[in-house]
Structure 1
Amino acid sequence: MTETEPELPRGIALAWGVAADPQRGPKREMSVERIVETAVELADADGLGAVSMAAVAAKLGFTPMSLYRYVSAKDDLLLLMQEEATGIPPESHLDEEGWRNRLRALFEAQVLVYVRHPWMLALPITGSPITPNSSAWLDAGLASLENTPLTSDERVAVALSVTGHARWYGMVLAGYAEQSRVTGLTPEEVSARESALFDRVITADEFPSLRRAIDDGVFVATADPFRFGVERILDGVESYIAALDSGEPHVSVDEWAEADSPDVEGDKRVREARKAVRDAEKAVRDARKAERQALREATERARR
């Protein structure tokens, strides 16, 4: 390693199998792999909150200090759990013809990962995927676009769009599954319950477009909005590729969205001003609601 090369964090080094082995400990009975598999089992059964070094150690029959010889931090364990649950992309996506079909197959496989391991959705996104399995998924997405005229930047953008949509889809499916588990209702019954709750609070005066959607039965419809959405993403990519093939130039968006600096965000006067804005916006909404109610009552009186 040269002076300019950063040292791999231990969690990432463990994922790649290049971390130093512990010098002592119950080596025959324990390994990083066994620790991670046990932690994943706990999370699959009872959620991420059930995972702690003490809980994993107890399930394995060892003391927490024994685990720390192998996985020295909880964050490293979470990273390795994510890597284990992510797995590698299915070879079956390679049987599909064309970039679009391959990306669709990868999208559906990624959704299944989240459905099988919903606790993964509680893990924060802290940067680009650097672990082997996460890298394999990104590589598969890029490889699917290999024979297109897209630039490397554009291929990454497309792959991330599909991956992000899969995560959002998995989050919604996991939410419905959790509601079903807690309430004992079927997914269809959960949707009906959700629609009924919207029906109680959404008025045509305040949210006219959403009210029309509710009246049209969108929350109890069998149509899958997420598959529809990913198909439209792929439509856009297909249209862009066709434009490139016909000689149109590449489109570049160089600016990232930027938040204010921590110093600005933490400034007391800025926080107070933003709170005042929120309070004023709420007051305006309440005033408009009162106005609409008064107009309805006045109209009824005039009719009488």
Structure 2
Amino acid sequence: MPTERTSAGDPARTLHLLWRGSSPDRRRGPRRALSIDAVVETAGAIADAEGLDALTMRQVAKELGVVPMTLYTYVPGKAELLDLMLDAAYARMPRTDTGGRPWRERVIAVADENRALFERHPWAATVSTSRPPLGPGQMAKYEHELRALDGLGLSDLEMDACLTHLLTFVQACARAAADARAAQDDSAMNDQQWWDLNAPLLARVLDADSYPTAVRVGAAAGAAHGSAYDPDHAYTFGLRCVLSAFAALIDEAQRGTTPGS
């Protein structure tokens, strides 16, 4: 389960910061040396390198060379900072110009863009966005991605549901890939080495005659991928299934039919 979620802070202050409605409160005294952008960039760099567990206001302040209380004059707390970090990552995402291209190519581009986002910022895949940060980065991303599904006969609700399904699939793949990398790092072995080491142990306790289908299919998958799970294959195969489901839905919409009619 995600340990962090967006929109967990003060909504009014978060939206004010996301949209930069005005500068932080101006107070008498020396001119302030930091900016919200600098705080967000530093926090993002920490999360990229060490994960969200390492991200604290104290650590951000240390990297910026200020006392922690200084940060609170820019950002109320970690919850609001997380929204700013994620929105900044969304704003920086490369967006493929797929105008005039077939819908499958447009949808694949959206999926690949999000997969690349999670590869650059693995922490982003661990964050629950059921209440998304409605900042400029998020809105630009949503607008861009919806256009991949526009004009296909889908209703607005179907477009939103298709996009949500696609992004949920990509995020799940990113989390699974991160888990696979973590397992490899923790064991200091790749999957093939791990299976080579443990296969004899499994063979001594597993009665192949009791599980013939599992043994046959598992052996075929292991031979093909060198492991029980291959992130690249899971993504490619899963995306093909998603596209097939979308194709059926689009065909129904264009024919004016509904499932089961």
Please report the TM-score for the alignment, with normalisation by the length of structure 2.
0.79
Letter in 2 for 1:12: L
Q: 1:26 to 1:207 in 2, by over 3 A?
A: farther
Q: Do 2:106 and 2:148's aligned partners in 1 also have CA atoms closer than 8 Å?
A: yes
Matches within 5 A, 1:108-147: 108-147=112-151
RMSD value, Cα: 2.9
Post-superposition offset of 1:247 = 3.1
What is residue 282 of structure 1 aligned with on the other side? none
Match of 1:22 among 25, 40, 43: 25
Consecutive unaligned residues of structure 2, counting only runs of 5 or more, are: 1-9
Q: Do 1:204 and 1:212's aligned partners in 2 also have CA atoms closer than 8 Å?
A: no
CA distance in 1: counterparts of 2:71 and 2:236, whole angstroms? 42
Post-superposition offset of 1:52 = 0.8
What is residue 297 of structure 1 aligned with on the other side? none
What is residue 58 of structure 2 aligned with on the other side? 54
Post-superposition offset of 1:119 = 1.5
Secondary structure of 1:94's match? coil
CA distance in 1: counterparts of 2:99 and 2:56, whole angstroms? 40
Letter in 1 for 2:13: R
CA distance in 1: counterparts of 2:212 and 2:15, whole angstroms? 50
Post-superposition offset of 1:22 = 2.6
Q: 1:132 to 1:204 in 2, by over 3 A?
A: farther
Match of 2:13 among 10, 15, 35: 10
CA distance in 1: counterparts of 2:81 and 2:30, whole angstroms? 18
Consecutive unaligned residues of structure 1, counting only runs of 5 or more, are: 1-6, 252-304
Spell out, residue by residue over 1:200-236, the C-alpha distance to the aligned partner (whole angstroms, 9 max, x if none): 3876577665433322234526671221111111111
Q: Do 1:10 and 1:19's aligned partners in 2 also have CA atoms closer than 8 Å?
A: no
Residue 231, structure 1, aligned to residue 240, structure 2: yes
Spell out, residue by residue over 1:116-165, the C-alpha distance to the aligned partner (whole angstroms, 9 max, x if none): 11122332334245222222222222111111100000000111111111
Q: Do 1:93 and 1:105's aligned partners in 2 also have CA atoms closer than 8 Å?
A: no
CA distance in 1: counterparts of 2:178 and 2:235, whole angstroms? 14
Secondary structure of 1:9's match? helix
Q: Do 1:100 and 1:234's aligned partners in 2 also have CA atoms closer than 8 Å?
A: yes
What is residue 191 of structure 2 aligned with on the other side? 190
Spell out, residue by residue over 1:68-116, the C-alpha distance to the aligned partner (whole angstroms, 9 max, x if none): 0000111111111122223344232425712221110110110111111
Q: 1:154 to 1:34 in 2, by over 3 A?
A: same
What is residue 286 of structure 1 aligned with on the other side? none
Match of 2:181 among 139, 157, 177: 177
Identity %: 26
Post-superposition offset of 1:11 = 1.8
Match of 2:111 among 107, 110, 113: 107
Residue 213, structure 1, aligned to residue 222, structure 2: no
CA distance in 1: counterparts of 2:139 and 2:210, whole angstroms? 46
Please report the TM-score for the alignment, with normalisation by the length of structure 1.
0.69
Q: Do 1:102 and 1:144's aligned partners in 2 also have CA atoms closer than 8 Å?
A: yes
- Identify which range, 105-114 or 209-218, moves more after superposition: 209-218
Match of 2:74 among 58, 66, 70: 70
CA distance in 2: counterparts of 1:191 and 1:81, whole angstroms? 37
Letter in 2 for 1:148: L
CA distance in 1: counterparts of 2:140 and 2:207, whole angstroms? 47
Q: Do 1:195 and 1:220's aligned partners in 2 also have CA atoms closer than 8 Å?
A: no
Q: Do 2:91 and 2:136's aligned partners in 1 also have CA atoms closer than 8 Å?
A: no
Which of the pair has the greater relative contact order for Cα pairs under 8 Å at 6+ separation? 2
CA distance in 1: counterparts of 2:155 and 2:198, whole angstroms? 46
- Identify which range, 38-47 or 221-230, moves more after superposition: 221-230
CA distance in 1: counterparts of 2:180 and 2:74, whole angstroms? 36
Q: Do 1:202 and 1:210's aligned partners in 2 also have CA atoms closer than 8 Å?
A: no
CA distance in 2: counterparts of 1:58 and 1:74, whole angstroms? 15
Structure showing greater radius of gyration is 1
